[in-house]
Structure 1
């Protein structure tokens, strides 16, 4: 799907507008059989040259508001950390989230209730010192495995636009998401599956260097600690439009 043009179809107006910033894509290659149990049977694990990928993505989400309405004070901004892999259904590629830790209690409730996504309550700070960004997080959601996160990275030189068929494009240019419900391991056994759609300009990626990484987000799902240094891309801020989820 190409999103180089943001002419939005009139018959399905997006529900919400957001602005994403201070974003880091961190990915590791993972054997497909390791991730397969975390997806419902109907979803195909999306592979790049036979390899599955697991990502951790910290970022800030601001300017959150329903389309055509002003932002609500106190509810228009949050920090997020998501753990993700990639899936497809009927040939449509998308993101599959194992968890989305976030700071705004109302936002977490709304995302779990209306978007069926596995959002979790967390305390997260995201600060900048010079050109370096630092995210620190502690999961506070009751009834789930605890997790902590601390990372410092420095965005670097701008990269050329990603091209279809490359790994960078596979990992970052995703305009659909899938979810089975807010309680991951229980809901993937159920009959429900939804597909959501996003609109935004192609990511403007940058090189990134890590000076700190200390995370138990992946391990909180019962997955082994990723091996080796992650593949990194920082990203410039962009505006995102979100459509409602539809059952598939």
Structure 2
């Protein structure tokens, strides 16, 4: 991958990246939300990031291909699967990033491996992706017996030509994130990520079912979400590093 980095808000890590993934048919589905509605659900070590005074919560369905460890091999039987993330936006040490409330993976082995090897809240879900007449439908049902309810179904389509977000806009703020944060045994960790700037399209759609967010005891506002679509982007992913004891 050609390392174009001038769109990043902070430099690449010096240490080597660990793996690559290609993210396909990505929908960014976002709602503004009151800061107080999520403050107690995000680790206190993290600052909740806001745009024009509002926090945001997102549901991000996509499907992964080309899941590979650097210079070694594809992950056996798990190099392609759909995933749906529920996330909000945070900062720490002047590095804006993502905080995941949940990650639903459409592959049992991938979800078990991710939950075993990382502190991320992964769940195994049956996720179907269908394409028809220019629209894409994601339908997901959580299969983990001991997890809270988590279902999602929505149909979406792009409605504009591609563009790259302009600096300082909400489009950029919601989509151009280059790390995520997670907690493990009261210690804060960061995972750095790199990819080219997203080639976005405006999108529209309908959500038929969503209990992914409500299972987190978060209520979405009664308004249409802000929708973006991106067809593909290849990402480099670094190992987790502890950033605070």
Q: TM-score, normalised by structure 1?
A: 0.90
Relative to structure 1, the CA distance from residue 167 to residue 66 in structure 2 (aligned partners, 3 Å threshold; closer, same or farther) is: same
Task: State whether structure 2 residue 186 is matched by structure 1 residue 191.
Answer: yes
Q: Which runs of 5+ in 1 are unaligned?
A: 182-189
Partner of 1:3: 5
Task: Give SS of 2:159's match.
Answer: strand
Give, in angstroms, the shift of residue 9 of structure 1.
Answer: 6.3
2:209 aligned with 1:206, yes or no? Answer: no
Does structure 1 residue 168 correspond to structure 2 residue 163? Answer: no
What's 1:184 paired with? none
Q: Does 1:222 align with 2:217?
A: yes
Is 1:106 aligned to 2:101, yes or no? no
- Report the alpha carbon displacement of residue 164 of structure 1 after superposing the two structures with TM: 2.1
Following the alignment from structure 1 to structure 2, what is the Cα–Cα distance between the partners of residues 10 and 232? Answer: 31
RMSD: 1.9
1:26 is the counterpart of 2:21: no
Between the aligned partners of 1:222 and 1:31, the Cα distance in structure 2 is 14
Q: Post-superposition shift, 1:225?
A: 3.5
Q: Name the CA distance, whole Å, in 2 between partners of 1:180 and 1:10.
A: 20
Structure 1 94/131 Cα, relative in aligned 2: closer, same or farther at 3 Å? same
Determine the structure 2 residue equivalent to 1:41: 44
Counterpart secondary structure, 1:14? coil
Aligned to 2:144: 141
For the 8 Å contact 2:111–2:122, the answer to whether it is kept is yes
Partner residue, 1:242: 237
Q: Residue 163 of structure 1 contacts residue 169 of structure 1 at CA under 8 Å; is this kept in 2?
A: yes
Aligned counterpart in structure 2 of residue 79 of structure 1, from 51, 66, 82: 82
Give 5+ residue unaligned stretches, structure 2. Answer: none
Q: Deviations over 1:26-54 (max 9, x none)?
A: 00000000010111111000011110000
Q: Distance in 1 between matches of 2:23 and 2:100?
A: 17
Report what 1:120 is aligned to. 123
Counterpart of 2:112 in 1: which secondary structure? helix
Does the Cα contact within 8 Å between 1:53 and 1:86 map onto a contact in 2?
yes
Cα contact 2:88–2:100 (8 A) shared by 1: yes
Aligned partners of 2:51, 2:22: CA distance in 1, in Å? 28
After alignment, is 32-41 or 69-78 more displaced?
Answer: 69-78
User: What is the TM-score when the length of structure 2 is the normalising length?
Assistant: 0.91
